[in-house]
Chains A and B, each alone.
Chain A
Amino acid sequence: MDLASVTRFRTAAARADLHLAEGERLLAGGTWLFSEPQPEVSGLVDLTSLGWAPWEPLPGGGLRVAATCTIAQLLQAPWPSPELPRACADALLMSFKIQHAATVGGNLCLALPAGAMIALAAALAGEAVVWTPDGGERREPVTTFVRGPGLTSLTGGEVLRGVDLPGWALRAATASGRAALTTYGRSAALVIGRRDPDAIALTITASVPRPVVLMLPPAPSERTVRATVAEAGAEVGWYADPHGAPDWRAAQTGRLAVEVCEALS
């Protein structure tokens, strides 16, 4: 939709252009920004003109995914096994047309509980790379970068540059499961398991307000899985919104966690 209050549009050509004036917002794909009224926004600063490579290899077989990498570009990255990124892209509410424009960074910064790129990055031990206003950089696990619904650790002047996914995580076996009120609707619970040498890392999103990663022993019993998930959910609180009642989400998360652990054991 038209953003009636926006009167300025800047195209960033260099890092210095990312210093925002009052009322300015960074624009990546724009698929969320243009989908809701933004009465507080008076200017847009286009990030995509910085020309960041959508993804770059990291030492050790890892990947750096730029914040401006679109979902469609992400799927073209050299994944050791493409199933998990495919499943996470499919878990997104929006159609393939939106995936041509929507970005990984946009999904992370929106910080929705159902943000499937958050889930993907958290499940693959992703680290957010954040440009700080002093010209420096800080790194933080995605699991703490996203703090709650609509809330990240970004402070004034900081910009999400990308997310680094380590090679060991990319090479790990993974499994995932998803619940939603409709088959292709917004996720109500998304559970991803990663098989590490001596553990299963279980990442829970959509049913909780922020990503939760649980470390379970290899081949855990169903009882252990359910108890661990229930305890973690109780601690952060099961998320409530029109996409599913909290008690149902808790049950679905437990069920999916058991299925995912079985698949990885």
Chain B
Amino acid sequence: MILDGVEVAGEPAPGQCLRTWIREQGVTAVKKGCDAGDCGACSVLLDGAPVHSCVTPAVRARGRAVTTAAGLGTPADLSPVQRRFAEAAAFQCGFCTPGWVVTATALAGDDGRVEVEEPERCFKGNLCRCTGYRSIRDALGGVANVEGLDAPEQGGFGRSVAAPAARRVVTGTEPFTLDLPDAGVLHVKLVRSDQAHARVTAIDVSAAEAIEGVVLVLTHRDAPDLLYSTARHESRLDDPDDTRLLDDVVRFRGQRVAAVVAESAAIAERAAALVQVSYEPLPAVFDPEEARSPGAPLLHGDKSPEQSRIAAPERNVVAHTHGEVGDVAAALDSAAYTVTGTWTTGRVTHASLETHGARAWVDDDGVLTVRTSTQVPFLVREELARLLSREPDSVRVVAARVGGGFGGKQELLVEDVVALAALRLAERGDRRPVQLELTREEQFTAVPWRHPMRVSVTLGADADGSLTAMAVDVLSDTGAYGNHAAGVMFHGVHESVAVYRCPHKRVDAEAVYTNNPPSGAFRGYGLGQLIFAIESAMDDLAREVGLSPYELRRRNAVVPGDEFVVNGPADTDLAFGSYGLDQCLDLVEQALDAGAAPPPGEGWRTGTGMALAMIATIPPRGHHSSARVTLEADGTATVEVGTAEFGNGTATVHTQIVAEALGLSPDRVRLVTSDTATSGYDSGAFGSTGSVVAGLAVHRAAEEVRRRLDEPQRPLSATGSSTGSPRSVAFNVHGVRVAVHPATGEVRILDSVQAVDAGVVINPEQLRGQVEGGVAQAIGSALQEEVVVVEGAVQTRTFRNYRLPQLGDVPPTRVLFADTYDTLGPRGAKSMSEAPYNPVAPAIANAVRDAVGRRPRELPMSRDRIWRLTRGES
């Protein structure tokens, strides 16, 4: 076989796919997104014809030419298609990009542009979760969006500078977590429960251990008798200690029961199938309302509410809030207008194209090193040290470029297993690295997803449409474990409720254990679910009062000077560092009016809708970062910062901040990131903090260096830090015009506009990309994505059954920026990564309501549901 122009010898295994064969040869440009032919991240040219290497038998490639993205060009000498992708900024995390480049190359002309009749059909076998596809369409069409790719002296703060990794990403040469040589590496396969709730009475591992090449089998007998949470926060006390590394009670189908470590992934998989687990079934509960009712089976009834921090284990309630300001009942009695309703949201998976994966080893100094795809390397280190009874200094956690996160990698899901295995083996003198890479099926069935919620909202208003009463009741299904249950619930009811001035507010919310697979952190962190309900109710209220939805918001949304009130005392560390909501409302209203696209044909009904969202720029209770900037003797600058790049663009932002402060061109700034051994502490990349917390620390360090530029010594270093308080607020307003086809239930988005209040814009193209990506993810959640679960068993275990949005599913969105300067953020900037997701679903729902006269109350608004809605059925 000729691989990227080089003859390779050897014989693939009989059942081996071409993807893993190529990677075994050291070419890691082929990525595993799905391993099932759906996503295209492993696309290669086979004798010039594009194929998915994951479903191509490796033996078929014998004697043929195989070309990956790395064989098409190099960072120094990009192919025409690679250049188009880099110039268009057609990637965020970049994990899917090599596959796009290969597929586009098969269709492109000599100039790298792809002119095909129906790109939506041609590229349905290439999935991207980050970008929302607009920038990819630009790459295919030859539109350039960034500067500095060839002229790195250009482009400081406020300019659309190319990502520092652009040339490596488009050539498939940027190393992700597991893009390392595979020789001598041990692999883990997890044995998972097929029971929803059961006690493990026996595990027989003898048959597995007898397989040649199996080196270790771990069960609950090997696990530390210590409870923790997979969720990671700045304070570990934010989450309940309800999880064991391997437990003798399983609480959901898919929970890990044993870990088999072997000399190859195939051996581990074969051996894992031979582990015999005996269970004593326990009663299970799958409905959160039943779960908190008397007599329900208890999931964590054996745990102490104080020690494990579970609100009420005796009724499966992990977290709750019940509180009122004013007198809601009286206010509703005297309201001129009232509206009420209940909304539900479905399960959504993050679908980062890179699955969870980690590799651990004990180095020569005895340091446990874990290389992992995580948003939170420092928080993982802290908890691993606690869990494995080691000093934090003897644990090193490193993240490479992360292939998408969306909150899913703010968890400890694979690191604990590989760390325990590596330590056990090191005790035996075996220092081989241990690797665990989850399959896409495991991503669907065994790792956390977005919390499904039921939200009831009642609003009261006076004759002028001023809110007088607001009552919100939330039931959140956290599944078998309480990771992020409290945080998501409290955040969910916070900015969604606090954005409105209203003298009487009541919020009741409970997060409840069930025997469903666990929920976790997901972009928006609870706000999306709440905002769907509250903004839908506000739309109803606007109709009742007879005001435009924009006017109703203008009348009731907070303005500087107001307090942020939910159901108790107002927040004290949240402030108006800037305020752009008024501008966002105006921008969307004007833009949507101007873009009145016609309906697609007869039988379609059109409508418009909008919704707003507020978000705190930083998570509460502290978010810390400490950065070091060094001006080197050769005039370049080195930035050491602990946060991780996972497609959010912080690497570009930090480069721009330092380049601007020190008067350097961006290519003279070097980043050293996300390594607990080399960077100062950083709480991690969640809550959109990469720019406003880590960025502020970098900014302060760079400013300090600048102040000392007169000093002669080089290298010249300074540190800067940021504590994440006080926090500001950012705003998003989304507006859409839709056409609904009652005969089929199809909702077509004719026009989509989002205005964002992100303060001073650091990198316009990158910000636009973040917004478009958030909107696309929200359109998926709103219209098509759904993890279907029956009695705790996941039915949708592949991308094709889950309907991850393709190029053809995502319409363009016009992104507009409010003109504000934030007094709390770095150089006036605010965060804007998760927020764009939040107002989209209610905007679409409100537009559907406008079009068909009936209100959707359930996500996703799939075609079958909308068809029923228009018929008056539910």
Q: Which residues of B contact A182 (CB under 8 A)?
A: 784, 803, 805-806, 809
CB-contact partner of A97 in B52, B60, B803, B867, under 8 A: B52
Q: A94 contacts the other chain (Cβ, under 8 Å)?
A: yes
Inter-subunit contact A244/B864 (CB<8 Å): yes
A30 touches B122 (CB 8 A): no
Q: Is the CB of B15 within 8 A of A6?
A: yes
Closest to B788 in A: A242
Complex contact A9–B35 (CB within 8 A)? no
Q: Is the CB of B57 within 8 A of A30?
A: yes
A168 in contact (CB, < 8 A): no
Interface pair A98/B52, CB less than 8 Å apart: yes
Shortest CB distance B288–A (Å): 22
Residues A184 and B52 in contact, CB atoms below 8 Å apart: no
A242 and B265 contacting across the interface, CB-CB below 8 Å: no
Verify if B808 is at the interface (C-beta below 8 Å from A): yes
By a CB distance below 8 angstroms, the chain A residues around B784 are 181-182, 185
User: Complex formed: what's the CA distance from A32 to B17 in Å?
Assistant: 12
B124, CB-defined interface residue at 8 Å: yes
- A2 x B266 contact (CB < 8 A): yes
Task: For chain B, residues 751 to 783, give those with C-beta under 8 angstroms from any C-beta of chain A.
Answer: none
Give chain A interface residues in 12-52, CB to chain B under 8 Å.
27, 30-32, 34-37, 39, 41, 43-44, 46
User: Do A2 and B13 form a contact, CB below 8 Å, given A96-B122, A183-B120, A243-B801?
Assistant: yes
Indicate if B725 sits at the interface (CB-CB under 8 A): no
B37 and A183 form a contact (CB under 8 A): no
Say yes or no: B270 contacts A94, CB within 8 Å. Answer: no
In the bound complex, CA of A249 to CA of B796 (Å): 19
Is B279 an interface position by the 8 A CB rule? no
A8 within 8 A of B: yes
Residues of B within 8 A of A7 (CB): 14-15
Which residues of chain B from 258 to 292 have a CB within 8 Å of any chain A CB?
Answer: 265-267, 269-270, 273
User: Is B15 touching A5 in the complex (CB atoms < 8 A)?
Assistant: yes
| Residues of A141-200 contacting chain B, CB below 8 A | 179, 181-186
Q: Is the C-beta of A263 less than 8 angstroms from some C-beta in chain B?
A: no
User: Smallest CB–CB gap between B810 and chain A, Å?
Assistant: 11
Which residues from chain A contact B743 at a C-beta distance below 8 Å? 255
Q: How far apart sit A37 and B439, CA to CA, in the bound complex (Å)?
A: 11
Q: Is A58 an interface residue (CB 8 A)?
A: no
Contacts of B806 in A (CB 8 A): 182, 184
* Residues 120-142 (chain B) with a chain A CB within 8 angstroms: 120-126
With A7-B14, A95-B122 known to touch, is A184 a contact of B808 (CB < 8 Å)? yes
Q: A93: which B residues are within 8 A, CB to CB?
A: 800
In the complex, whether B862 has a CB less than 8 A from a CB of chain A is: yes
Which of A32, A41, A179: most chain B Cβ within 10 A?
Answer: A179
Is B25 an interface residue, CB under 8 A from the partner? no
Least Cβ–Cβ distance between B190 and chain A, in angstroms: 14
Inside 8 A of B125's CB, which chain A residues have their CB? 94-98
Q: A1-B36, A6-B15, A247-B868 are in contact. Are A31 and B55 (CB under 8 A)?
A: yes
Which residues from 37 to 91 on chain A have a C-beta closer than 8 Å to any C-beta of chain B? 37, 39, 41, 43-44, 46, 90
| Chain A hits for B126, CB < 8 A | 95
Considering only CB atoms, which chain B residue lies closest to A95 in the complex? B125
The answer, yes or no, to whether B50 is at the interface (CB within 8 Å) is yes
Question: Whole-angstrom distance between the alpha carbons of A46 and B809 in the complex?
Answer: 37
A103 CB to nearest chain B CB (Å): 13
Hey, which chain A residues are within 8 Å of B235, CB to CB? none
CA distance A251 to B124 in the complex (A): 27
Give the Cβ gap from A77 to chain B, nearest Cβ, in Å: 19
Question: B723 contacts the other chain (Cβ, under 8 Å)?
Answer: no
On whether the beta carbons of A4 and B15 are closer than 8 Å, the reply is yes
Kindly state the separation between the CA atoms of A46 and B106 in the bound complex, as whole angstroms. Answer: 27
Q: Note all chain B residues with C-beta closer than 8 A to A183.
A: 120, 808-809
Question: How many A-B Cβ pairs are below 8 Å?
Answer: 155
In chain B, positions 46-76 with a C-beta closer than 8 Å to chain A are 49-52, 54-57, 59-60
- Chain B residues, Cβ within 8 Å of A184: 120-121, 124, 806, 808-809
Pair A1/B17 contact, Cβ less than 8 Å: yes
Bound CA–CA A257/B121 (angstroms): 25
Contacting pair A4 B266 (CB below 8 A): yes
Which residues on the B side are within 8 Å of A43 (C-beta)? Answer: 14
* Contacting residues of chain B (461-520) with chain A, CB-CB under 8 angstroms: none
Contacts of A4 in B (CB 8 A): 15, 265-267, 269-270
Smallest beta-carbon distance B720→chain A, Å: 46
A34 to B801, CA, bound (A): 16
Q: Is the CB of B868 within 8 A of A242?
A: no
- Do the beta carbons of B49 and A100 come within 8 Å of each other? yes
A242, A249, A255: the one within 8 Å of B795 (CB): A242
Can you name the residue of chain A whose Cβ is closest to the Cβ of B743?
A255
**Chain B residues within an 8 Å CB radius of A179:** 744, 863
Is A252 close to B, CB under 8 A? yes
A32 to B800, CA, bound (A): 12
**Given A1-B439, A4-B270, A34-B17: A248 touches B863 (CB 8 Å cut-off):** yes
User: Are B37 and A185 within 8 A (Cβ)?
Assistant: no
**Smallest Cβ-Cβ distance to B57: which chain A residue:** A30
- Chain A residues whose CB sits within 8 angstroms of the CB of B863 once the complex forms: 179, 181, 244, 248
With the chains together, A96 CA to B267 CA distance in Å?
34
Q: Are B745 and A3 in contact (CB under 8 A)?
A: no
Pick from A3, A41, A93, A96 the residue with the most CB of B within 10 Å.
A96
- A110 to B: closest C-beta gap in Å: 13
Residues of A near B867 (CB, < 8 A) are 248, 251
Contacts of B795 in A (CB 8 A): 241-242
A34 touches B54 (CB 8 A): yes
Cα distance, A183 to B803, chains bound together (Å) = 10
Bound CA span A5–B59, Å: 16
Residue from B57, B267, B809, B868 within 8 A of A34 (CB atoms): B57
Q: Within 8 Å of chain A (Cβ to Cβ): is B416? A: no
Q: How far is the CA of A36 from the CA of B34 in the complex (A)?
A: 10
A36 touches B17 (CB 8 A): no
CB-CB < 8 A to B803: which residues of A?
181-182, 185
Report B-chain residues with C-beta under 8 Å of the C-beta of A214.
Answer: none
A227: CB under 8 A from chain B?
no
Beta-carbon contact of A248 and B17 below 8 Å: no
Answer yes or no: B340 CB below 8 A from chain A CBs.
no
Expressed in whole angstroms, the minimum distance between the Cβ of B24 and any Cβ of chain A is 11
Docked-complex contact A2 and B36, CB < 8 angstroms: no
Question: How far is A101 from B50 in the complex, measured between Cα atoms in Å?
Answer: 10
Q: Is B16 an interface residue (CB 8 A)?
A: yes
Indicate if A234 sits at the interface (CB-CB under 8 A): no
Q: Which of B51, B267, B439, B864 has the most CB of A within 10 A?
A: B864
- Give CA–CA (A39, B17) in the complex, Å: 15
Confirm or deny: A215 has a beta carbon within 8 angstroms of a beta carbon on chain B: no
Shortest beta-carbon distance, A15 to chain B, in Å? 21
Contacts of A6 in B (CB 8 A): 13-15
The answer to whether the Cβ of A236 comes within 8 Å of any Cβ in the partner chain is no
Q: Once bound together, how far apart are the Cα atoms of A30 and B15, in whole Å?
A: 11
Q: A95-B125, A101-B55 are in contact. List 17 more A-B contacts (CB 8 A).
A: A2-B17, A2-B265, A3-B16, A4-B265, A4-B270, A5-B270, A9-B59, A31-B37, A35-B55, A95-B122, A97-B43, A97-B106, A100-B50, A179-B744, A182-B784, A183-B808, A185-B800
Chain A to chain B contacts (Cβ below 8 Å), 8 pairs = A2-B15, A4-B270, A6-B13, A31-B37, A96-B50, A98-B55, A185-B784, A244-B864
Listed in ascending order, the chain A residues whose CB lies under 8 Å from chain B are: 1-9, 27, 30-32, 34-37, 39, 41, 43-44, 46, 90, 93-98, 100-101, 179, 181-186, 241-245, 247-249, 251-252, 255
The 8 lowest CB-CB distance pairs between A and B, nearest first, are A95-B125, A6-B15, A3-B15, A248-B864, A9-B14, A1-B35, A4-B269, A4-B266
Residues on B lying within 8 angstroms of A by beta carbon are 13-17, 20, 35-38, 40, 43, 49-52, 54-57, 59-60, 103, 106, 120-126, 265-267, 269-270, 273, 439, 441, 743-745, 784, 786, 788, 795-796, 798, 800-803, 805-806, 808-809, 862-865, 867-868
